[in-house]
């Protein structure tokens, strides 16, 4: 059910490009796939270590056969009591069977379930600050939650097994403390599989020991890791090693590919090398430089950012860039609650755009315009996720991914490049956040410190607030060159009455002259006056696509070059909207567009009045096609 469609196969088998090819469907595909993850419906929130202990280390022994949906093994967890501790509570699916729990080599009492909880009663109270360990031995058939936490399929007739735990699926296949805010400080995994298979894992491969017809692959990871970022995949992988130049030396880039896709995989990894160098330069050292970055292939149409070893369904540049970006945003610094998932996904999406900006700039404006069009295709929705129990909302491509990415882009516009990148590097390197978790307030604090700005209003409008502005720009220029501009806006959602933003306008004159003026728009219907040394022919709103806005209208009034404008009344309207023109116009046709740009009324006659009584309340644009061109004006239906 998740085999690649023909188009994607064609993309996956295309020769490697020196620059990443623009992939217009990649974002939607990533979001579609990520939203299909298992979702048992548990809301986790941020905070200090809960349950009275802090995870320090895990040593996992797993026996897996990709042809069989089954796991057996043991997990030894080292932890420090943060308060006097009588019992250790771990997350583990009730579908699995715990055969023993041992502490100091002796069995200890436990109860398993209901509610996927494993409660281990310690033989004696552990004092606060004390480090200790216990080992859980278990086996069974992992449950099928969502469609990815523990999957067995095949490729080219060969069995493949993979895990994909985000957001709540870790307990489906191993006992852990599944809490975003308690990363395991380091871990070793020993994965025993039938001879002929390789196991992909987190960290550095320490070796493979063959015993009889089985081989045990040992992966060692010496960085803090959240349980949902732990991944294992098993099949007859063919391995490729390359190196990416980064500030601290050469980074091992490891590829575990299906043999039948080996060449595509190597080309994909080669194409990613400049992006690794780019992100390393922009956002500081690759976070896991002492180990590696890698890809392991699985049967998805998207990817998953398992720490140091992303699982990818193919080798599309935008997906590879997205999962790589997560190593900084998501893995090194993880959202502290799923409600703030944009701290992972908004950044990963934005960084895939930055790869276009720096490495394939022809696609950069197309990419931004595509995001804005998607974001403004509906009037509401916040970046902040108000309902993490709603799978479609949590992994919403429009809100968590795309709006999150464009909100980051607008923060760059507000802060300027220097403060923006400095603030992000400080956020990533903050000892309280690095290799830990962060909140949106942490991000805001670092950007404010770097820029000197108060971003409270911005985050209220764009993070918790909903919707976007639609601007009307009315401008004129007199014979002496004095330019007057009036900026007004209507908003698409009542949660925000006005979006305060610096607004760029590009003024074009004869002979290829142009200049861009940034207006600090702080109130609605604000007037600006300045001088331009050339006669302005036309004005372009937000020429470089810094802002989320839609249905913007630019109108010239007065002046020698101004054409006629359409004037509406009454506005707001209830039953009828009437109009006339500032100069004689030969009117061909009239239509009314709703807030999403969809035509809702037409009038091909010469009448200058329309019945709007049946329109839903909201904002509309009246568009007149006349002999002199297109004229637009905005009105509100009450
Ligand atoms: Zn992602």
Average pLDDT over residues 408-430: 98
Which of residues 387 and 464 earns the better pLDDT score?
464
Q: Comparing 155-159, 173-177, 634-638, which segment has the lowest mean pLDDT?
A: 634-638
Res. 391: pLDDT tops 90: no
If you measure from the C-alpha of residue 337 to the centroid of ligand 1, how many angstroms do you get, rounded to a whole number?
A: 15
Distance 33 CA to ligand 1 centre (A): 10
Q: Provide the terminal-to-terminal Cα distance of the chain, rounded to the nearest Å.
A: 48
- What distance in angstroms lies between residue 394's CA and the mean position of ligand 1's atoms? 12
For residues 95-103, average pLDDT: 98
User: Could you tell me if 341 and 377 lie in one domain?
Assistant: yes
| Res 579: pLDDT | 86
* 330 or 47, higher pLDDT: 330
Instruction: Decide if pLDDT at 624 tops 90.
Output: no
Q: How far is the CA of 591 from the centre of ligand 1 (A)?
A: 41
Cα(344) to ligand 1 centroid in Å equals 7
Average pLDDT for 149-153: 95
Question: Does pLDDT of 18 surpass 80?
Answer: no
Q: What is the mean pLDDT of residues 253-281?
A: 97
Are 409 and 478 part of one and the same domain?
no
The two tokens of residue 11 are 């993309």
Distance 341 CA to ligand 1 centre (A): 9
Ligand 1 mean position, distance from CA 31 (Å) = 7
**Res. 42: pLDDT tops 90:** no
Burial 535-550 (b: 16+ CB within 10 A, else e): ebeebbbbeebbbbbb
Q: How confident is the model at residue 605 (pLDDT cuts 50, 70, 90)?
A: low
* CATH label of the domain that carries residue 586: 2.60.40.1220
Using the predicted structure, report yes or no on whether residue 399 has a pLDDT greater than 90: yes
pLDDT grade for 167, boundaries at 50, 70 and 90: confident
Residue 48 in domain: no
Query: Is the domain of 424 the same as that of 521?
Result: no
- H or E element in which residue 528 lies: strand 526-531
* Ion ligand 1: residues, CB < 5 A: 345, 348
Query: With b meaning 16 or more CB within 10 Å and e meaning fewer, what string describes 588-607?
Result: eebbbbbbeeeeebebeeee
What integer is the mean pLDDT of 439-465? 97
Ligand 1 geometric centre to CA of 401 (Å) = 8
Same domain for 428 and 503, yes or no, is no
- Do both 352 and 447 map to the same domain? yes
Could you tell me how far CA 228 lies from the centroid of its own chain? 16
Q: Is the pLDDT of residue 43 over 80?
A: no
Q: Which domain holds residue 350?
A: 334-464
- Measure 346 CA to ligand 1 centroid, in angstroms: 8
Q: Which of 546, 419, 559 is nearest to 478 (CA)?
A: 559
CA 326 to ligand 1 centroid distance, Å = 7
Q: Is residue 61 part of a domain?
A: no
Rounded CA gap, 339 and 179, in Å?
Answer: 14
Tell me which H or E stretch contains 337: none
Residue 599 domain flag: yes
Inside any domain, residue 84: no
pLDDT at 83 over 80: yes
Residue 632 lies in a domain: yes
Q: What share of the chain is helix, strand, coil (3-state, %, to 5)?
A: 25, 40, 40
55, part of any domain: no
* CA-angle at 29, arms to 244 and 441, nearest 5°: 75
User: Average model confidence (pLDDT) for the chain?
Assistant: 90
Q: How far is the CA of 305 from the centre of ligand 1 (A)?
A: 7
Ligand 1 centroid–CA 35 distance in Å is: 10
Choosing from 562, 595, 623, the residue where a domain stops is: 562
For a pLDDT cut of 90, what percent of the chain falls above it?
75
User: 604 or 9: which carries more pLDDT confidence?
Assistant: 604
- For 319-377, the pLDDT digits (tens) are 999 999 999 999 999 999 889 999 999 999 999 999 999 999 999 999 999 999 999 99
CA of 487 relative to ligand 1 center, distance in Å: 37
What is the side-by-side strand order in the sheet with 526-531? 526-531, 482-491, 469-477, 553-556
Residue 578 domain-assigned (yes or no): yes
Across 1-10, 119-128, 243-252, 508-517, least confident range: 1-10
- What is the model's pLDDT at position 560? 57
User: Is the predicted pLDDT of residue 9 greater than 80, yes or no?
Assistant: no
Residue 348 alpha carbon to ligand 1 centre in Å: 6
Helix, coil or strand: residue 61: strand
Q: How far is the CA of 564 from the centre of ligand 1 (A)?
A: 49
Claim to verify: residue 629 and residue 511 sit in the same structural domain: no
Q: pLDDT at position 144, please? A: 72
Of 543, 562, 581, the position where a domain reaches its end is: 562
Same-domain status, 449 and 496: no
Ligand 1 geometric centre to CA of 400 (Å): 10
How far apart are the CA of 331 and the centre of ligand 1, in A? 11
Instruction: For residues 363 and 458, state if they share a domain.
Output: yes
pLDDT at 25 over 80: no
Q: Give 100 Cα–ligand 1 centroid separation in angstroms.
A: 37
User: Any idea what the Cα angle at residue 336 is, between residues 333 and 339, rounded to 5°?
Assistant: 120
Does the pLDDT of residue 490 top 80, yes or no? yes
Mean pLDDT throughout 121-136?
97
- Written as six digits, the tokens of 352 are 């895939």
CA of 242 to the centre of ligand 1 (A): 24
Helix (H) or strand (E) segment spanning residue 83? none
Predicted local confidence at residue 32, as pLDDT: 52
366 and 439 housed in the same domain = yes
- Spatial distance between the Cα atoms of 186 and 178, rounded to a whole number of angstroms: 15
304 alpha carbon to ligand 1 midpoint, in Å?
A: 7
Q: Which of 441, 464, 487 is the last residue of a domain?
A: 464
CATH label of the domain that carries residue 541: 2.60.40.1840
**396 CA distance to ligand 1 centroid (A)?**
11
pLDDT of residue 578: 86
- Pick the more confident residue, 596 or 133: 133
403 in the same domain as 505: no
- What does the alpha-carbon distance between residue 246 and residue 243 come to, in Å, rounded to a whole number? 9
Is 187 within the bounds of a domain? no
Q: How many domains does the chain contain in total?
A: 3
User: What is the CA(102)–ligand 1 centre distance, in A?
Assistant: 38
Query: How far does residue 368's CA lie from ligand 1's centre (Å)?
Result: 18
- Percent of the chain predicted with pLDDT > 70: 91
- CA 317 to ligand 1 center in whole angstroms: 14
- The pLDDT of residue 4 is 30
Tell me: do 385 and 405 sit in the same domain.
Answer: yes
Name the band, by pLDDT with cuts 50, 70 and 90, for residue 130.
very high
Tell me, yes or no, whether 408 and 426 share the same domain: yes
* pLDDT at position 609 over 60: yes
């Amino acid at each position: 059910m998740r085999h690649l469609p023909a188009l994607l196969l064609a993309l996956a088998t295309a020769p490697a490009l020196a620059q990443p090819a623009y992939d217009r469907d990649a974002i939607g595909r990533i979001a579609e796939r990520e939203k299909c993850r298992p979702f048992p419906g548990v809301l986790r929130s941020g905070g200090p270590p809960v349950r009275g202990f802090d995870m320090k280390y895990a040593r996992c022994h797993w026996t897996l056969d990709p042809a069989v949906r089954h796991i057996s093994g043991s997990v030894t967890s080292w932890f420090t009591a943060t308060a006097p501790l009588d019992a250790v509570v771990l997350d583990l699916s009730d579908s699995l069977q715990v055969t023993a729990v041992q502490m100091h080599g002796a069995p200890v009492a436990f109860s398993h379930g209901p509610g996927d909880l494993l409660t281990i009663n310690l033989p004696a109270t552990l004092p606060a600050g004390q480090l200790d360990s216990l080992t859980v031995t278990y086996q069974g058939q992992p449950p099928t939650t969502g469609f990815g936490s523990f999957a067995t399929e095949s490729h080219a007739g060969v069995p493949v097994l993979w895990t994909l735990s985000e957001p709540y699926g870790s307990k489906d296949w191993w006992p852990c403390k599944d809490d975003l805010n308690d990363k395991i400080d380091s871990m070793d995994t020993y994965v025993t599989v039938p001879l002929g298979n390789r196991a992909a894992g987190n960290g550095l491969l320490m070796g493979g020991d063959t015993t009889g017809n089985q081989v045990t692959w040992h992966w060692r990871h010496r960085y803090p890791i959240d349980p949902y970022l732990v991944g294992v995949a098993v099949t007859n992988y063919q391995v490729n090693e390359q190196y990416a130049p980064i500030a601290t030396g050469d980074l091992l880039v490891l590829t575990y590919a299906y043999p039948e896709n080996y060449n595509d995989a190597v080309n994909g990894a080669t194409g990613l090398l400049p992006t690794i160098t780019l992100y390393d330069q922009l956002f500081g050292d690759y976070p896991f430089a002492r180990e590696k970055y890698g890809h392991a292939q699985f049967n998805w149409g998207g990817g998953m950012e398992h720490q140091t070893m992303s699982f990818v369904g193919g080798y599309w540049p935008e997906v590879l860039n997205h999962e790589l970006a997560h190593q900084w945003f998501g893995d090194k610094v993880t959202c502290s609650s799923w409600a703030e998932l944009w701290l992972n996904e908004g950044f990963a999406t934005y960084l895939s755009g930055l790869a276009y900006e720096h490495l394939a700039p022809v696609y950069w404006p197309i990419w931004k315009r595509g995001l804005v069009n998607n974001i403004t295709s509906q009037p509401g929705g916040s970046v902040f996720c108000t309902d993490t129990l709603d799978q479609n909302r949590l992994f919403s491509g429009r809100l968590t991914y795309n709006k999150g990415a464009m909100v980051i882009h607008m923060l760059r516009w507000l802060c300027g490049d220097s403060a923006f990148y400095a603030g992000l590097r400080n956020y990533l390197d903050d000892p309280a956040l690095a290799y830990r978790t962060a909140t949106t307030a942490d991000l805001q604090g670092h950007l404010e410190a770097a820029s000197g700005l108060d971003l409270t209003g911005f985050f209220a409008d764009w993070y918790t607030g909903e919707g976007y502005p639609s601007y009307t720009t009315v401008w004129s220029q007199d014979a002496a060159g004095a330019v007057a501009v009036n900026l007004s806006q209507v908003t698409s959602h009542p949660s925000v009455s006005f979006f305060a933003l610096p607004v760029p306008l590009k003024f074009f004159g004869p002979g290829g002259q142009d200049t861009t003026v940034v207006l600090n728009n702080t109130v609605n219907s604000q007037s600006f006056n300045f001088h331009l040394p050339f006669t302005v022919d036309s004005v372009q709103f937000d020429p470089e696509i810094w802002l989320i806005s839609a249905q913007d209208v630019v109108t010239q009034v007065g002046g020698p070059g101004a054409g006629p404008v359409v004037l509406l009344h009454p506005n707001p309207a209830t039953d009828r909207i009437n109009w006339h023109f500032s100069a004689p116009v030969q009117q061909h046709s009239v239509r009314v567009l709703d807030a999403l740009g969809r035509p809702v009324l037409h009038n091909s006659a010469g009448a200058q009045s329309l019945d709007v009584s049946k329109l839903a309340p909201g904002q509309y644009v009246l568009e007149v096609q006349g002999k002199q061109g297109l004229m637009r004006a905005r009105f509100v239906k009450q």
